[in-house]
């Protein structure tokens, strides 16, 4: 096992050594760990060491990433403890490493945290924020002589 550990395929196969503390996993040759399967996205997920522990972040992949059978939301990071099952699309691996060898001291870092989305509300991240950046002048839309689309009409008194 290397200093950073390894991914052991569940169901057989050669272990994949983790050679650095920041690895991109995907189908493209430019990735650090290349998985040549049709259900793996070009840039599927990111593995990184923080405070002596491995973390995984789904890079908005088509078929997702799971840790111990639980799907990870895109752009959220999830801590991988030694022995955890990492599923990249439907390919399952067990991560093996020693946190102390990577500089871990004390309590493990927080499990799930947004990566780069801390300044947005949940509604904004979902694209459902209805706040308008500029207010519409209601008087410009209430012109009884204008029959263009978007004009408000006054109802005649009854």
Model confidence over 126-135: pLDDT tens digits? 667 665 544 5
5-102 adopts what CATH topology? Tumour Suppressor Smad4 (2.60.200)
- Dump the DSSP string for the chain: --TT-EEEETTS---EE--SSEEEEESSTTSSEE---TTS-TT-EEEEEETTEEEEEE-S-SS-EEETTEEPPTTEEEEE-TT-EEEETTEEEEEE--GGGGT--SSPPPS-EESS-TTS-HHHHTT-----SS---HHHH--TT--STT---PPPP-
| Residues sharing a CB contact under 8 Å with residue 71, sequence separation 6 or more, in sequence order | 64, 65
pLDDT of residue 111: 79
Model confidence over 93-114: pLDDT tens digits? 999 999 999 999 988 988 776 5
Record the pTM.
0.71
The one-digit pLDDT tens for each residue of the chain (158 residues) are: 789 999 999 999 999 999 999 999 999 999 999 999 999 999 999 999 999 999 999 999 999 999 999 999 987 899 999 999 999 999 999 999 999 999 999 889 887 765 555 556 667 666 676 655 445 555 666 666 777 776 666 666 66
Q: Sketch the domain layout of the chain as residue ranges.
A: 5-102
| Residues sharing a CB contact under 8 Å with residue 15, sequence separation 6 or more, in sequence order | 1, 6, 7, 8, 9, 96
């Amino acid at each position: 096992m290397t200093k950073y550990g390894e991914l052991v395929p569940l169901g057989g196969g050669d272990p994949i050594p983790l050679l650095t503390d920041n690895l991109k996993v995907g189908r493209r040759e430019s990735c650090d760990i290349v998985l040549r399967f049709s259900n793996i996205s070009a840039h599927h997920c990111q593995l990184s060491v923080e405070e002596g522990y491995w973390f995984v972040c789904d890079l908005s992949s088509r078929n997702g990433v799971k840790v111990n059978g639980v799907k990870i939301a895109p752009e959220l990071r999830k801590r991988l403890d030694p022995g955890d099952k990492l599923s990249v699309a439907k390919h399952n691996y067990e991560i093996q490493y020693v946190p102390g060898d990577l500089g871990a001291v004390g309590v493990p870092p927080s499990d799930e945290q947004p990566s780069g989305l801390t300044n947005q509300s949940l509604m904004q991240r979902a694209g459902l924020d209805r706040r308008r950046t500029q207010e519409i002048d209601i008087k410009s839309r209430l012109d009884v002589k204008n029959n263009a689309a978007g004009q408000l009409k006054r109802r005649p008194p009854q």
